[in-house]
Amino acid sequence: MSEMQPGQAAAGSEAEISIAVIVEDGEWPGEDHLIALAERAVRVALEVASPELDDESEVSILFTDDEAIRELNAQWREKDKATNVLSFPQAAGPLLGDIVLASQTVAREAAAEGKTLDDHITHLIVHGFLHLLGYDHEDEGEAEEMEGLERQALGLIGIADPYAVPPQDHE
């Protein structure tokens, strides 16, 4: 497990956030690389969402495999299948919550959507982190707001709109 050095939570904010990165299982890039992706994703999510945080907030990001996330998804969401990312917000205190990513699903989606693995991991961390901040996509209005923040955050670091419909090849 590695912990990122605390950094400013948001522009003008005095709050700091620590990120614990745990690589449990699955085929992932190196731990230092994942820490850099996590730091960048959380930084831009904080920049666009501008939440009010405790002075020393924390988040943990677990990188695991499809089997582990399938078990979590079944236990906590009653969906017995693998998914790309899960978020577990905490009700109070400095721990914002946990984000879990599944290696096989993330890699398969990135390849199918023609995205780099780094860009897809970054997007999913932004997505998961926004859930920890209270954003959701249960109805159309919530989904539009959350997706808008994701697009804005990713755009700040040069990642293409993850929700854009790819152009169709014309022959």
| Annotated binding residues | 127, 131, 137
* Contact by Cβ (8 Å): 100, 77: no
Contact 63, 41 (CB under 8 A): no
Q: What is the Rg, in whole angstroms, of the alpha carbon atoms belonging to the chain?
A: 16
| Among candidate residues 19, 87, 4, 76, the one with its CA nearest the CA of residue 53 | 19
CB 85 within 8 A of CB 100: yes
Distance of CA 7 to the CA centre of its chain: 17
Sign of the C-alpha dihedral, residues 18, 4, 65, 45? positive
Which residue ranges are tagged as binding site for Zn(2+)? 127, 131, 137
